[in-house]
Amino acid sequence: MGRKKNETTEETEAPEAVLGRLRGRIDTIDKNILELLNQRLDIAKEIGKCKGRSAEVVMDSARESNVISRLFSLNKGPLSNEAIQHIFTEIFGSSREAQQPHLVTYLGPEATFTHLAAKGYFGRSATFVSQPSIRDVFQTVEKGTAHYGIVPVENSIEGAVNYTLDLFYESDLKICAETYLNISHDLLSIAGSLKDIELVYSHPQALAQCRKWLGKYLPGVSVQEVGSTAEAARMAVKNERSAAIASNEAAQMYKLNVMASKIEDFARNTTRFLIIGKKAARPTGKDKTSLMFVTPHTPGALYKVMTPIADAGLNMLKLESRPSRQENWTYIFFLDLEGHMDQVDVKETVEKMGKICLFMKWLGSYPFRNRTEE
């Protein structure tokens, strides 16, 4: 039986006609998406007014975490969860800005990995202000000059960022959230080839993370430590016989050539960052609590402090120690527990631990962020 006279199908249509029709459908979908996004933003503004009346903070990491978890559970593809995370990061950022402009401070200059992590977490709608040191990030938030700060706390290869840990002893700021950034290093230069490079600039951790590559491809070349990978890129611009180990974004920002990509010695090199602010996050049902404490100078003291955690059946996620600057041969411990301080079992456990410790401080409870979501 033949086709009707006016019937057309994708098999009989010319490719240009099929393409035009499909693009027309996409245009209609894009229009609907745009209208829905603007509707969402209007509702976000109304929510902002309610928050203003109730003195509630604009950034609600607990709510955002729950929204993402819900979307992941609803997602049937082909859009990946990673794509959803990135798309809604920008939507959340625009919503926060609609409610109240956000000022976020980070360890600069521009194009450092901390800057990239800040944009990845807050979205590009926020206003970002760089600081010359991690201490300055803490102080800017403490003074209220910025709403939030972001600081590196540990790297999967090089371990803890000890200076960040030390500053939590002095500061009353709370950890509001965490985020992870996969670190990839490029060699950047204005030189013509690797043979022309006599000096490599970078941050000490970046140099350490690329040690094998440097030894293989630039043996004998001098290295110079600088305050950040972005600062290394700025210095490499001024010296045609030099190179910088930095991010690909730094290459674009400072107009440097990428001489080699992904030169880190280990794949899956990840840095964990903490978002710090004046108010703690609400519970989500999937949270992490961070503590710091000092044990008595008695045998088995650390075991006794850990016992309430085991008795309560809580999951300990991390335990780190740092020499105390108050007295020689004493140590401050940093501990991450699964759960939120608002939970009865977590609160009672921390109270029992505190009775044994010489010093204990709650650093914050915040959404547990799966590093595979970054």
CATH number of residue 177's parent domain: 3.40.190.10
CATH number at residue 297: 3.30.70.260
Between these two residues, 198 and 52, which has the higher pLDDT value? 198
The pLDDT tens digits of the residues spanning 58-115 come to 567 778 888 888 999 999 989 998 899 888 888 887 887 777 777 899 988 888 899 9
8 occurs within a structural domain:
no
Residues 198 and 143 in one domain: no
7 occurs within a structural domain:
no
The pLDDT tens digits of the residues spanning 158-208 come to 788 888 998 998 899 999 999 999 889 999 999 888 999 999 999 888 998
Report residue 359 as tokens: 């010093």
Q: 47-83 burial string, b = 16+ CB within 10 Å, else e?
A: bbeeeeeeeebbbbbbebbbebbeeeeeeeeeeebee
pLDDT score of 374 more than 60: no
14 occurs within a structural domain:
no
Please compute Rg for the chain using Cα positions.
25
Residues 175 and 117 in one domain: yes
Q: Where are the alpha helices (DSSP H) in the chain?
A: 15-54, 61-74, 81-99, 113-122, 134-142, 162-170, 204-209, 211-217, 229-238, 248-254, 301-312, 344-356
Residues 108 and 173 in one domain: yes
Confidence of residue 344 (pLDDT cuts 50, 70, 90): very high
Residue 290: its pLDDT value, please? 96
Q: What is the pTM of this model?
A: 0.77
Q: Could you tell me the residue range of the domain that residue 115 belongs to?
A: 103-183+270-276
Count the domains in the chain: 4
CB contact set of 87 (below 8 Å; sequence gap of 6+): none
Mean pLDDT over all residues of the chain? Answer: 87
8 Å CB contact between 284 and 65: yes
Mean pLDDT of 288-317: 93
Residue 90: its pLDDT value, please? 84
Give the alpha-carbon dihedral of 311, 312, 313, 316, to 10 degrees: -100
Percentage of residues of the chain with pLDDT beyond 70: 92
Percentage of residues of the chain with pLDDT beyond 90: 51
pLDDT score of 6 more than 60: no
The pLDDT tens digits of the residues spanning 104-120 come to 999 888 888 999 999 98
Report residue 309 as tokens: 């955690």
